[in-house]
């Protein structure tokens, strides 16, 4: 596990295999927390999704223990481990952790000041608390899709990334965990954190929700400058079929753009609704006269708020990201050397050496149970029973 970083010394037990909770533990580990992934024993392996070996950065810098939480001894082993944990993260449907005997109250009995983070689609309470769902559902109910530009058939688009899982859930969990850890340092109190992904999406839409509550005007595609109302904030195709993004919100940047495109006549019409179609037509026609990278080379340094629309293959070779060590080397015993996204969020701990990505069958169960006070004979007995692996 990581030995450096802003969260060095914090121990996390993560019961999740995929989704927002797994993203949260990934980032916590990159901040230096010692994360232990808790998974099911092989005979129950089908109860969780097994992501590809490279997903979630291959769980680099983490340890792994396999327990049968449906057995009394397996549950007891988990609670022994929880006695030395600072944070527990789970992503079962509300009520499941309690039924298994590993819920907040159960952990509090062995670790009163634990920070216990429950992540779920709709939260622990409310009429939808037991609904199943995924990213697209949370973006739908949280208002995000209704404010996005529609596709050709008029319906909301499918986003290019799992935004609800990433920001609405995973980042919300990290923020709330860090806040709770800070309070614990001050007061000695733990916390039960109810992370609802749908709530997180609604929080991301707060600018529009607050506007509606005050004005009564319902936001949607083309409602304001950020949702496509004006030509100065849009995407344009270039001669080579690649696209460029324009975000010239401030009048000075918009004026710079118009002049650079030879369209000075539109400088004073940035927010003139009557001529937006004409401005867009001229922008489109002009951008189609040159290749994307030619436009970027000229416009981006000239205070025009222009940037290329990168594909993933382009992103991983982008010189800006390269200069900030976005991509790092990793190595897997069976799959060999490959690249992955590094610990690049502010304050995270990077590494100059290849990260070791472990095989899914590799565990630290014996080491971790020994640290928790189990004798060698006890561990052997648990393994023979199939309670741990």
Active site residues: 134, 165
Q: Do the Cβ atoms of 274 and 230 come closer than 8 Å?
A: no
Number of helices (H), then strands (E), in the chain: 16, 12
What Cα–Cα distance (Å) separates residue 46 from each residue in 17, 40, 42, 127, 278? Answer: 12, 9, 8, 29, 57
Q: Do the Cβ atoms of 4 and 30 come closer than 8 Å?
A: no
According to DSSP, the β-strands at 87-90 and 63-66 are unpaired
Q: Which two tokens stand for residue 221?
A: 């595609």
- C-alpha atoms less than 13 angstroms from C-alpha of 330 in its C-beta half-sphere: 26
Sheet architecture: strand order including 63-66: 63-66, 34-39, 11-14, 87-90, 115-120, 191-196
What Cα–Cα distance (Å) separates residue 161 from each residue in 51, 139, 157, 244, 303? Answer: 17, 11, 11, 19, 28
**DSSP string over 124-182:** SSSTTTT----HHHHHHHTTTGGGSPP-TTSSPPPPSS-HIIIIIIIIHHHHHHHHHHH
Q: Do the Cβ atoms of 121 and 198 come closer than 8 Å?
A: yes
Q: Is 65 left (phi over 0), alpha (psi -120 to 50) or beta?
A: beta
Residue whose C-alpha is closest to residue 233's, from 200, 262, 285, 270: 270
Q: In the 3-class helix/strand/coil scheme, how is 222-261 assigned residue by residue? A: CCCHHHCCCCCEEEEECCCCCEEEEECCCHHHHHHHHHHC
């Amino acid at each position: 596990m990581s030995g450096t970083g802003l969260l060095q010394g914090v121990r996390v037990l993560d019961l999740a295999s995929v989704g927002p909770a797994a993203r949260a533990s990934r980032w916590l580990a990159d901040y230096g927390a010692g994360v232990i992934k808790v998974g099911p024993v092989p005979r129950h392996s089908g109860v969780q999704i097994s992501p590809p070996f490279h997903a979630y950065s291959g769980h680099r810098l983490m340890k792994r223990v396999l327990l049968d939480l449906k057995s009394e001894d397996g549950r007891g082993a988990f609670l022994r481990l929880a006695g030395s944990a600072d944070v527990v993260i789970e992503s079962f449907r509300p009520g499941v952790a309690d039924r298994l005997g590993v819920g907040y109250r159960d952990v509090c009995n062995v670790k009163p000041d634990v920070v216990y983070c429950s992540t779920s689609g709709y939260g622990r309470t409310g009429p939808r608390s037991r609904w199943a769902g995924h990213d697209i559902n949370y973006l739908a109910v949280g208002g995000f899709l209704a404010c996005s530009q529609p596709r050709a058939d008029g319906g909301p688009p499918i986003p290019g990334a799992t935004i609800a899982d990433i920001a609405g859930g995973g980042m919300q969990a990290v923020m709330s965990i860090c806040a709770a850890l800070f309070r614990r340092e001050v007061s000695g109190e733990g916390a039960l954190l109810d992370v609802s992904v749908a709530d997180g999406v609604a929080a991301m839409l707060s600018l529009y929700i607050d506007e509606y509550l005050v004005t009564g005007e319902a936001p949607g595609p083309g409602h304001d400058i950020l949702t496509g109302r004006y030509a100065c904030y849009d995407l344009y195709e270039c001669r080579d079929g690649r696209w460029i993004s324009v975000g010239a919100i401030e009048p000075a940047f918009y004026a710079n753009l118009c002049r650079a495109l030879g369209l000075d006549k539109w400088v004073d019409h940035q927010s003139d609704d009557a001529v937006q179609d004409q401005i867009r037509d001229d922008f489109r026609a002009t951008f189609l006269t040159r290749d994307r990278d030619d436009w970027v080379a000229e416009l981006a340094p000239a205070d025009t708020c222009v940037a290329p629309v990168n594909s993933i293959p382009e992103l991983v070779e982008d010189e800006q990201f390269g200069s900030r060590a976005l991509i790092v080397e990793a190595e897997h015993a069976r799959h060999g050397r490959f690249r992955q996204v590094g610990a690049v969020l502010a304050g995270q701990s990077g590494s100059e050496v290849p990260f070791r990505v472990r095989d899914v069958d590799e565990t630290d169960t014996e080491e971790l149970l020994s640290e928790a006070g189990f004798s060698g004979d006890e561990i052997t007995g648990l393994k023979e029973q199939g309670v741990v692996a």
